[in-house]
Amino acid sequence: MAAAEGPAVRHAQERSSSSLRVAVLAGGRSSEHDVSLASAASVRDALIEAGHEVVWIEIARDGTWRRDGSTLSLTPGEGLAGADVVFPALHGPFGEDGTVQGLLETVGVPYVGAGVTASAVCMDKVLFKDLMGTLDVPQVRYAGIRAETWHEDRESALAAAGALGLPVFVKPAHLGSSVGIVRVARAEELEAALAVAFEHDSLAIVEAAAAGIEVECGVLEEPSGALLASEPGEIVFAAEFYDYEAKYTPGGMELLVPARISATAREQLRELAARAFRAAGCEGLARVDFFVEGERVLVNELNTMPGFTPTSVYPKLLAATGVPYAELVDRLCRLALARHAAAGARRH
């Protein structure tokens, strides 16, 4: 017997097939709060352009949810603000890590993007790399260091990091947007870099520097379940590395599409992007980041909710592959509705 239809499904059936009521989640508790606000504003504008009604829900830094300035209460099984579907334009912990996804599952509303498990796995850079390692996916060398290990056995932690050589990049394991990242060129700089990472997270990742160029690939799930891997884009920046300022300051980076890589590397990269997407259990969309050196292609990380700001790479890559911004957000919302309907037809 199929499960009973939830409120979101009923709302969608009552509306025109061409128009949806979409709740856009913005802000959040993480250090990527401001980036999320910018992403959400762009998503809102594109949804309106596509003919949809938007409900703006802003999550404050303290975790409070507000709509039109009033605190919003959620009830399990009763949906969210009468929305047909939710677009959680949230980045980092408490938004992209499975927590909000679990909440949306509980209230019973369709939502854009990866589910609970894939969101949690991909948010943890060490766990994601461990998973890719079991599948022999080529990637940069790395070491995960926990704060407890750092305090209790600093020598072994330094040895694990030192085995990667220099330079290395030290990052908080559960943040994106290059928040808290430090490039370490000398061994004596490592302790300070780890201290910065541990200010943000109890788990740090140390990555060996890659000699190749940075290339990114957007993945979009098709209604059939097939995956569209975008034309790869090369990241060109003037800074020493692709840091927060380079990502979000206008003119801080240049995206070259197509990337200046060989046809062989291009196809290998697009195949690896789809393979990583499937292996992590992603749904809807993702951006997969690579280093490419000649014919050598290395997976770096996967973002389940990439940026949607005016300078963000993911929507630019999809636009270059034939999916303009407004069509992209429309397709993502309809994919979310279809996924929710299919899940509701299963027995639990």
- For 108-189, where are the alpha helices, taking DSSP H only? 116-123, 125-134, 147-152, 154-162
DSSP for residue 6: P
31, 177, 230, 312: the active-site residue: 177
Which helix (H) or strand (E) segment holds residue 344: the answer is: helix 325-344
Query: For this structure, is 284 an active site residue?
Result: no
Q: Is 301 a known active-site residue?
A: yes
Catalytic pick among 287, 331, 334, 339:
287
Known catalytic residue: 289? yes
177 is catalytic: yes
Report the DSSP beta bridge partners of residue 292. Answer: 213, 297
Contact between 177 and 110 (Cβ < 8 Å): no
21 is catalytic: no
For the question of residue 53 being annotated catalytic, the response is: no
Q: Which of 58, 96, 243, 289 is catalytic?
A: 289
Instruction: Please identify which of the residues 95, 301, 314, 330 carries the catalytic annotation.
Output: 301
Given 30, 42, 303, 312, the catalytic residue = 303
Phi and psi angles of residue 130, each rounded to the nearest 5 degrees, phi first:
-60, -45
Instruction: Identify the bridge partners of residue 85 per DSSP, sorted by sequence position.
Output: 22
Q: Which of 307, 325, 334, 339 is catalytic?
A: 307
Of 111, 142, 244, 248, the catalytic one is: 248
Q: Which of 32, 58, 207, 283 is catalytic?
A: 32
- Contacts of residue 104, Cβ cutoff 8 Å, sequence gap at least 6: 80, 86, 88, 111
Q: Pairing mode, if any, of strands 233-237 and 213-221?
A: antiparallel
Catalogue the active-site residues: 32, 177, 248, 287, 289, 301, 303, 307
